[in-house]
Structure 1
């Protein structure tokens, strides 16, 4: 009879996802030698080799790929069992690991942490600033429990199997200009086409915001933006507008309530929206995660009422 350790199966599942011992070690906080040792012990438990040489590294063989498929099922079932047992006991405790982009972390996750400390002190929230592209692999593997990401009109996110997506809020995108910009003075909507000669700031390449800015300039303006500045921190983008004369296209939650150094204008050609989306695994949530999600969703109307 094969006796398989769930902890070692997680190492195998991580290796299937990440592809190298070093990447698994970084993700789980172990040394590469520890990862290698755990996989060797799993091979002993399974009674068959699971890895084979591939250049200077290793990769899964047929048996390893087969066991990794079963590991996904077993780990999901174990997680569901833990959630059911916690719910049966009625005790709200445990760790909730949540990630979000900057504006959602600041406006939704941080207040939720404060509420949990007051109402459920036995829950341990752990918050990380993560873009959805970075966070989804962690969510699939169970090292993150909740991710708040964004998506934009015309740039929908993929919906991978095994994930649950819940829209938290929608908000408009607005043009942000230096106060001295010629188009800032009239105070009316600004056409993207009129910003052809400006220098742009956006999030890092590969993010949804970057793709949205480039796509909006192409579709509404008919040009490739001069996108010289890249930061996934909205405050950095705003400072580039203030100090360096850049222009940006940002959702309202990232904007200050009043700032004489910048001008915020609606788009003239269209109304574009950003949606903040909560993503969890499509398995029964633990009571701790349910309580944390309630704290996050209860914060949404407060955020909407306070936005500029």
Structure 2
């Protein structure tokens, strides 16, 4: 009788999609030797070769492709069984591993942790600060249960098969200026075209925020921004604005309330929107995960943009 290790099957699923040991290792945060070892142990478990040489690398053979097809069914069934057993007990318990970018972690995930501590003390919640791109492989492998990422107009995120995506918050993008900036003192919406000569700050290259800032300057201003400062920490970006070193495009959720050390303005040319998207595996969620999702949605609701789509601190003029 063949004994299948679900963790090793997850490595096989990732290899099927990525094609090389190095790609699997990079995506999952393991060394290539660790990935190779886990797949070799899987071959030992099933008692047959699953790979064949392909140049300097490996590829799945017929047995490997067959097992990979069954792997998708087996992993989905295992998660469904865990969810059903947890629901049958009626007592909400277990572990929820949640990741998200900084503003989502601070304003949504951390308050949701506090709610779970009060309402469901037998649920263990672990929170990680993660960008969506970094966390999707771990989500697929079951190392993370929920991820909150961002998505901007004109810059959609990939939606890999086997995952479920739901928007929990939409909010406008604002121009954030140093308090002494001439356009801050003038008041009113600010044209992106009018910021051609300014220095910009944004998140690291490869993130949705970075792509949004560059794309907005190109599309609305007709120029390449002087993007000198890059940080995934919103506080670092805001500090650069405060000292007069940069301007920024940021959503209200990333801004502190009632801070008059910078000015927040509407974008003049058009309305720009950020969506916070929750990603989970496309399987029935365990009761603990359902309860945590409900808490996240409850804390997202007050931030939901409506009316003038402000969704956060009022425009500040020193």
TM-score (norm 2): 0.87
Which residue of 2 is the match for residue 39 of structure 1?
39
Q: Alignment RMSD, CA only?
A: 2.5
User: For 1:307, which of 302, 312, 316 is the aligned residue?
Assistant: 312
Q: Is the contact between residue 163 and residue 279 of structure 1 (CA under 8 Å) also seen in structure 2?
A: yes
- CA deviations over 1:229-261 (Å, ceiling 9, x no partner): 111111111111112520100001111223332
Distance 1:184 1:228 in 2: 21
Residues 1:144 and 2:144 are matched in the alignment:
yes
Which residue of 2 is the match for residue 20 of structure 1?
21
- CA deviations over 1:276-308 (Å, ceiling 9, x no partner): 111111210000100101111111234459831
Q: Is the contact between residue 253 and residue 307 of structure 1 (CA under 8 Å) also seen in structure 2?
A: yes
Q: Is the contact between residue 147 and residue 279 of structure 1 (CA under 8 Å) also seen in structure 2?
A: yes
- CA deviations over 1:145-180 (Å, ceiling 9, x no partner): 111111112222233332222111111111011111
Distance 2:245 2:35 in 1: 49
- CA deviations over 1:77-103 (Å, ceiling 9, x no partner): 111111111111212111111111100
Q: 5+ residue gaps in structure 2?
A: 306-310, 314-318
Q: Are residues 157 and 35 of structure 1, via their aligned partners in 2, closer, same or farther at CA, if it must alter by over 3 Å?
A: closer
How far off its partner does 1:272 sit?
Answer: 0.9
Q: Is the contact between residue 27 and residue 137 of structure 2 (CA under 8 Å) also seen in structure 1?
A: no
Q: Map 1:124-203 onto structure 2 (within 5 A).
A: 124-203=124-203
Distance 1:192 1:97 in 2: 39
How far off its partner does 1:72 sit?
Answer: 2.2
Q: Is the contact between residue 201 and residue 246 of structure 1 (CA under 8 Å) also seen in structure 2?
A: yes
Which residue of 1 is the match for residue 10 of structure 2?
10
Q: Are residues 191 and 38 of structure 1, via their aligned partners in 2, closer, same or farther at CA, if it must alter by over 3 Å?
A: closer
Which residue of 1 is the match for residue 74 of structure 2?
74
Q: Please state whether the residue corresponding to 2:259 is helix, strand or coil.
A: coil
Q: Is the contact between residue 3 and residue 45 of structure 1 (CA under 8 Å) also seen in structure 2?
A: yes
What is the total number of aligned residue pairs between the two structures?
A: 307
Q: Are residues 230 and 144 of structure 1, via their aligned partners in 2, closer, same or farther at CA, if it must alter by over 3 Å?
A: same
Q: Are residues 22 and 153 of structure 1, via their aligned partners in 2, closer, same or farther at CA, if it must alter by over 3 Å?
A: closer
Which residue of 1 is the match for residue 279 of structure 2?
279
Q: Is the contact between residue 21 and residue 36 of structure 1 (CA under 8 Å) also seen in structure 2?
A: no
Distance 2:161 2:6 in 1: 22
Distance 2:39 2:190 in 1: 58
Q: Is the contact between residue 101 and residue 129 of structure 2 (CA under 8 Å) also seen in structure 1?
A: yes
Distance 2:27 2:179 in 1: 44
Distance 1:66 1:108 in 2: 41
Which residue of 1 is the match for residue 316 of structure 2?
none
TM-score (norm 1): 0.90
Q: Please state whether the residue corresponding to 2:114 is helix, strand or coil.
A: helix
Which residue of 1 is the match for residue 243 of structure 2?
243
- CA deviations over 1:179-220 (Å, ceiling 9, x no partner): 111111111111000001111101111111111111111111
Q: Please state whether the residue corresponding to 1:209 is helix, strand or coil.
A: helix
Residues 1:118 and 2:123 are matched in the alignment:
no
